[in-house]
Structure 1
Amino acid sequence: MTDRDATPLTPRIGEPAPDFEAETTHGILRLEDFRESWLVLFSHPADFTPVCATELIAFAGAREKLRAMRCELLGLSVDSVFSHIAWVRSLESRFAVTIDFPLVADVTGEMARRYGMLMSAESPNEPVRMTYVIDDRGIVRAFSAYPMTTGRDVGEIVRLVAALQATDAHGVATPAGWKPGEPVLAPPPRTQAMAEERAKAGGAACPDWYFCKKETS
């Protein structure tokens, strides 16, 4: 395997997101341009392809929800900026959507390699469907990878951002399938005394010493 074929490890949860400076449909952008907001960075294999089209349409539909959560969108593929512009214009014309978030033209694949988006068993030069959630400090908080044949659930990405922000705001965890407004999970007790206190509380909200729900409002 040559150095050109080598793919860096995917940035891990809790690590700083790799810096970048990239040409996009909104001009040159850098990671630092998003430091005052959260960022969903997602890759797609290629412009003018059907699964990718459904994803961009879905992200456009979630744009206002994410914006209300101080979260920006940034797409990426190895297509040129001219291809991106033509594709966005086509999608907006054919599907009556507004795609007002930038798309990175990563023609050399450098940014895709830095984010571990290239997986040779899937494609030698097109990124898979990677999604990163990066917080307003530039830290990777979550990531996922889908194959080229399977579109992502954008609603789940919105839910994930909301759950991470609830964790930061309230110092809690969120249960499976949690949605904003629903009860969250209190951190488990760290001492025997705290466990005894939880056990005495009981009730539907606290069925066992390690499992207690609480409201955030």
Structure 2
Amino acid sequence: MVNLGEIFPNFTAPTSQGEITFHDWLEDKWGILFSHPADYTPVCTTELGTVAKLVPEFTKRNVKLIALSIDDVDSHNGWIKDIQADSQLTGEFPFPIISDNRDLAVKFGMLDPDERDKAGLPLTARCVFIVGPDKKLKLSLLYPATTGRNFDEILRVVDSLQLTATKKVATPANWQQGGDCMVIPSVKQEDIPKLFPKGVTMKPVPSGKSYLRYTPQPE
């Protein structure tokens, strides 16, 4: 299991696009590793097709994508044809799918004990790991095998992570790209004019405490 802020462990694994070593593959970009219970499963097929269509959006954000499933590379390559047919995709599939023999699923805490395969073994859950260019884990999400992920939300999360990594702001509930942000508590009031030239609005609350400080999204 990897905790937020820790270096995401390096590993070498076969994929549908050849063997990769994770840190080398990531280069100096952001990365998203997302796992799947198995090949030729219905929800996974819709997820991978959805992500493939969103590749241009992730590329704009300097994000590389890599999936994982507990089946071999030949199985992955056959499954990709179904994914492309279901989502009306053509050409080379735009990101690799890792072939895992359960080692990575166990190492990274991906197993779903309530969902099992025909042999009675726990299926891999629907995990999302977002890793920064510094190779540190920035976010993790864990869905059960029965629930498909919302990749528009994952794009939104990437926008927030990249913004808050360099600006002294946090993003409020339901924030979207371009929306107002919140000044983080560690910023002193006297530093606000130089840090936030667009201005800061203080929202009054019954406690009288000055902690709800809103500012237009920094450039």
TM-score w.r.t. length of structure 2:
0.85
Alpha-carbon deviation of 1:190?
Answer: 6.3
Contact kept? 1:109, 1:125, Cα under 8 Å:
no
Shift of 1:214: 1.1
Alignment: residue pair count: 200
Following TM superposition, by how much is the alpha carbon of 1:49 offset from its aligned partner in structure 2, in angstroms?
1.1
Supply the distance in 1 between the matched residues of 2:79 and 2:29 (Cα, whole angstroms): 27
- 1:60-119 Cα offsets, whole Å, 9 max, x none, are 12111011100011100111100100011222134312531100011x211111111113
The residue aligned with 1:116 is 109
The equivalent residue for 2:17 is 26
Runs of 4+ in 1 over 3 A off after TM superposition: none
Task: Give SS of 2:179's match.
Answer: coil
Moved more, 93-102 or 53-62: 93-102
Could you tell me whether the CA contact under 8 Å between 1:46 and 1:77 is conserved in 2?
yes
Shift of 1:169: 2.2
Distance in 1 between residues matched to 2:86 and 2:127, nearest whole Å:
26
| Distance in 2 between residues matched to 1:189 and 1:12, nearest whole Å | 23
Q: 1: CA distance between counterparts of 2:186 and 2:61?
A: 30
Aligned mate of 2:98, from 104, 111, 131:
104
Find the aligned partners of 1:181 and 1:115 in 2 and give their Cα distance: 34
Query: Identity of counterpart residues, as a percentage?
Result: 32
> Tell me, what secondary structure is at the counterpart of 2:45?
helix
**Structural mapping, 1:68-217, within 5 Å:** 68-98=60-90, 99-106=93-100, 108-123=101-116, 124-189=121-186, 205-208=201-204, 209-215=210-216, 216-217=218-219
Q: Which amino acid aligns with 1:21?
A: T
User: What is the match of residue 50 of structure 1?
Assistant: 42
**Structure 1 unmatched ranges of 5 or more:** 1-9, 198-202
Whether contact under 8 Å (2:31, 2:64) holds in the other structure is: yes
3-state DSSP of counterpart to 1:119:
strand
Contact map agreement 2:35 2:69 (CA 8 A) in 1:
yes
Tell me the distance in 2 between the aligned counterparts of 1:157 and 1:35. 21
State the shift of 1:40 in Å: 0.8
- Paired with 1:164 and 1:97, the residues of 2 have a C-alpha distance of 29
Q: Partner letter of residue 212 of structure 2?
A: F
Runs (5+) with no aligned partner, structure 2: 194-198, 205-209
Q: Is the 8 A contact 1:130 1:143 kept in 2?
A: yes
Q: Are residues 103 and 189 of structure 1, via their aligned partners in 2, closer, same or farther at CA, if it must alter by over 3 Å?
A: closer
Separation of aligned partners in 1, 2:26 and 2:67: 14
Q: Is the 8 A contact 1:77 1:126 kept in 2?
A: no
TM-score for the superposition, normalised by structure 1: 0.85
